[in-house]
Amino acid sequence: MRIRWLKIALATALAGLGSGQLYGQSPKAETIFVGNFLTLDPGHPQAEAMAVSAGRIIAIGSQASVESFATSSTKRIKIDGVALPGLADAHIHVEGVGEELERLNLRGLSKQQILDKVAASAKTAPSGSWITGGGWDQGFWHPAVFPTSKELDSVSGDHPVALSRIDGHSTWINSKILALAKITRSTPDPDGGRILRDAAGEPSGMLIDKAQDLLRAVIPKPTPADREPRIRLALQQFSEWGLTSVHDAGVGLETISIYKDLLNRGELPVRVYVMAAGEAARAYYLAHGPEPDLGSDMLAVRSFKLFLDGALGSRGAELTDPYTDAPQEHGLELMKDPDLERVVRAAREKGFQVNTHAIGDRAVRRALDAFQQGGVTANDRFRVEHASMVTNDDMPRFVSMGIIASIQPVFVGEYSRWAEDRVGPSRVHWVLRTRDLLNAGVLAAAGTDYPASDSGRALDNLYCAVTRKGADGKPPAGWYQDQRVDVDQALRMMTQGPAFAAFQEKNLGILSVGRYADFTVLSANPYQVPIDNLKTLTIQMTVVAGHATFDVNSKH
Ligand SMILES: [Zn+2]
């Protein structure tokens, strides 16, 4: 579908003005949407119609009041379902989602099912070509232990095979790759990573965290020509999931330039808030300054993504006290304090937001310490990505510095499978404490971290936040139910939360005059269905700046 909504300079210039001021006289509606709107605007929570001009809402309210903005050429679109402000994902990996759509999907599979899938692929793939897959989780297996290269060798023929774990923090490889990457018993563990070894000291086929760089060094590098279709595939998927905005949690300059190309061609169907990652991107942007609004808020580059630690599943999350199920391990420190403090200072000086991946309680504390050292205030809107383990002592520090917790309700699925094993019965109360965060007054934005989680569907994330069950409905009684939030809190974390976390709350997050006409139409009112049914709601339509990017009725 060709999309025309992007080059709307006028709308940008007039951002934030009320409808009466837009054109000096009553503006004319290009489109009027008629149906049931839940605006999340406390002053006017419901509406029957919305008038849109140049991508923005010029009127919203009763049908009669909105009709006064109509002209003879106004298009009318009837909404079938219940419209909410456009759903956003505050932490997702766009290209990863596209890649996932292209490669073997191993989610929820047993080890045998995975081996069967690789065997089938090895028979049809061109000789010697790479077979890649991802999404497996040994937490589903019995016994729940890491797999080995030998198991893969038996089904992989002459193909290098690399299967990344669900969190992306470890990869299962076959012996072909061990040979290509020259990983032997004498290869030392790199800083911030581990090569798992068998009882005889030989590499066993699992690379943890930075040890995966050894694999990346030999994996054929995708060209921009490989990557653009992948990104487009993901963006299309987002529209089907009802997403109007995504925060891409860590990309380099090449990806940013793909986004710019898509934007310039009018082919970006979802707003993308980029977290720039890596030395090169940081150096470039520190020299050139932020790009807070490209193309009427379709694209923004004004934040840096940093990684302080790894993931809890692979025991890479950095803990103050050792892992309960691995008493010699504290996790990984992927960035040292002085480096972190240096980036925090440089970023603040040049007007960049800093978004630090921090999962373990030690990493979260280091992030907060560095922010405090750097004089961070609420105006900076710095973020802790994940904030999976927050101690009671650190909770108020989020509030006092206005640090945003960028959390993933969908993680309840994987955490329910093994978090208690990793951290034990007392520290488990620090894990994914969504309700505690909100009660303490912490600003929260919800995302899925997909594909490093069980699901990227926005409605699954809503369901998980409200039920404390994983996207697969387990555990049936929910995991630490006291951390449930209600539908309204969850929806605000999926709309206003991400808007604020991206400095876009004046333009996005609620449906009101002057804001962009971004909305998501659900099959039923999420406030009224039994919470277990939230997952079964469907997306009827996704609208960005007044244009449908997905419509269930015109799906081919
Ligand atoms: Zn992530």
Q: What is the pLDDT of residue 100?
A: 85
To the nearest 10 degrees (0 to 180), the angle between helices 253-264 and 279-288 is 60
CA of 249 to the centre of ligand 1 (A): 6
Segment 114-164, tens digit of pLDDT:
999 999 999 998 898 899 999 999 998 999 999 999 999 999 999 999 999
What's the mean pLDDT in 484-489? 98
C-alpha 68 – ligand 1 centre gap (Å): 46
Q: What DSSP character marks residue 6?
A: S
pLDDT computed for residue 379 by the predictor: 97
Q: Work out whether the CA dihedral 510, 511, 516, 518 comes out positive or negative.
A: positive
Cα-to-centroid distance, 334 and ligand 1 (Å): 14
Residue at token pair 């309210």: 61
Rg from Cα positions in the chain:
24
Distance, CA 453 to ligand 1 centroid (Å)? 9
pLDDT of 13 over the 60 cut: no
**Ligand 1 centroid from CA 311, angstroms:** 10
**How confident is the model at residue 22, as a pLDDT?**
46
Q: What angle do CA 95, 410, 548 make, to 5 degrees?
A: 55
**In what side-by-side order are the strands of the sheet with 104-105?**
104-105, 131-136, 161-165, 170-173, 203-209, 193-197
Q: Cα(92) to centroid of ligand 1, in Å?
A: 6
Tell me if 443 sits within 8 A of 402, measured CB to CB.
yes
Write down the pTM of the prediction: 0.84
Q: Quick one: average pLDDT of 254-259? A: 97
Report which secondary-structure segment, H or E, holds 81.
strand 75-85
Whether residue 1 has pLDDT greater than 60: no
| Paired tokens of 446 | 């919800």
- Average confidence score pLDDT of the chain: 93
Question: Cβ contacts of residue 29 below 8 Å, gap of 6+?
Answer: 51, 52, 53, 58, 59, 66, 69, 70, 71, 74
Look-up of token digits 């006409």 = 517
Asked if residues 474 and 460 have their Cβ atoms less than 8 Å apart, the reply is: no
Question: Residue 536: is its pLDDT beyond 90?
Answer: yes
Task: State the distance from the centre of ligand 1 to the C-alpha of 344, rounded, in angstroms.
Answer: 19
User: One-letter amino acid identity for 433?
Assistant: R
Query: Residue 67: in which H helix or E strand, if any?
Result: helix 63-67
H or E element that contains 554: none
Tokens 């996932």 found at: 100
Given a cut of 50, whether residue 8 has pLDDT beyond it is no
Q: Which residues pair with 88 in a beta bridge?
A: 245
Residues with CB under 5 A from ligand 1 (ion): 249, 449
For residue 500, the CA-to-ligand 1 centroid distance in Å is: 19
pLDDT for residue 75 is more than 70:
yes
CA of 125 to the centre of ligand 1 (A): 30
149 CA distance to ligand 1 middle (Å) = 26
Chain segment 447-461, per-residue pLDDT in tens: 999 999 999 999 999
In the chain, % of residues over pLDDT 70: 95
> 452 C-alpha to center of ligand 1: Å?
7
Mean pLDDT along residues 384-388: 98
Is the pLDDT reported for residue 327 higher than 80? yes
In angstroms, what is the span from residue 153 Cα to ligand 1's centroid?
A: 30
The first and second tokens of residue 30, run together, are 């290009």
β pairing state of 519-522 and 444-446? unpaired
- Ligand 1 center to residue 93 CA distance, Å? 6
- Give the tens place of pLDDT for each residue, 212-231: 999 999 998 888 888 999 99
How far apart CA 401 and CA 373 sit, in angstroms, is 11
Query: Quick one: pLDDT at residue 158?
Result: 95
User: What is the distance in A from the centroid of ligand 1 to the CA of 278?
Assistant: 14
Q: Is the pLDDT of residue 294 over 60?
A: yes
* CA 455 to centroid of ligand 1, rounded, Å: 13
Q: Provide the pLDDT confidence category of residue 428 given band limits of 50, 70 and 90.
A: very high
275 C-alpha to ligand 1 centroid (Å): 11
| DSSP H helical ranges for 431-525 | 434-440, 458-467, 487-493, 496-501
**Residue 74: exposure state from Cβ atoms within 10 A (0-12, 13-18, ≥19):** middle
Cα–Cα distance between 80 and 376 in angstroms, integer? 45
Cα(86) to centroid(ligand 1), Å: 21
Ligand 1 mean position, distance from CA 304 (Å): 13
pLDDT tier at 168, thresholds 50, 70, 90 = confident
Q: From the CA of 246, how far away is ligand 1's center (Å)?
A: 12
20 vs 18: CA distance, rounded Å? 6
Amino acid (one-letter) located at 305: K
* Interval between CA 285 and ligand 1 midpoint (Å): 21
Which of 452, 480, 440 shows the shortest CA–CA distance to 464?
480
3-state secondary structure of 522: strand
Ligand 1 center to residue 447 CA distance, Å? 9
**What span, in angstroms and rounded, lies between the C-alpha atoms of 354 and 302?**
9
Whether the pLDDT of residue 6 is over 80: the answer is: no
Task: Give the DSSP letter of residue 431.
Answer: B
Residue 87 — φ and ψ, nearest 5°? -75, 140
Instruction: Please name which of 129, 149, 134, 158 lies closest in space to residue 220, comparing C-alpha atoms.
Output: 129
Centroid of ligand 1 to alpha carbon of 408 (angstroms): 10
**Ligand 1: centre distance to CA 547 (Å):** 29
Helix (H, G, I), strand (E, B), or coil: what is residue 495? coil
Amino acid letter for position 453: S
| Distance from residue 292's CA to the centre of ligand 1 (Å) | 21
User: What distance in angstroms lies between residue 164's CA and the mean position of ligand 1's atoms?
Assistant: 14
- pLDDT grade, residue 15 (50/70/90)? very low
- Indicate the pairing of strand 193-197 with strand 170-173: unpaired
- Residue 24 region, left (φ>0) first, then alpha (ψ -120 to 50), else beta? left
Residue 190 DSSP code: P
Residue 339 has pLDDT above 50, yes or no: yes
Single out the residue of 274, 238, 287, 273 nearest to residue 461, CA to CA. Answer: 238
Ligand 1 centroid to residue 347 C-alpha, Å: 20
Please give the distance, rounded to the nearest whole angstrom, from the Cα atom of residue 33 to the centre of ligand 1.
Answer: 35
Is residue 8 within a helix (H) or strand (E), and if so which, with residue range? Answer: none
> Residue 449 Cα, ligand 1 centroid: separation in angstroms?
5
From ligand 1's centre to the CA of 521, what distance in Å?
Answer: 27
Residue 300: in which H helix or E strand, if any?
strand 299-307
Please give the distance, rounded to the nearest whole angstrom, from the Cα atom of residue 294 to the centre of ligand 1: 24
Nearest to 211 by CA among 255, 176, 177: 177
Output the CA 91–ligand 1 centroid distance in Å.
6
Å from CA of 21 to ligand 1 middle = 41
- How far is the C-alpha of 279 from the C-alpha of 229, rounded, in Å? 26
The closest alpha carbon to 321, from 365, 356, 376, belongs to 365
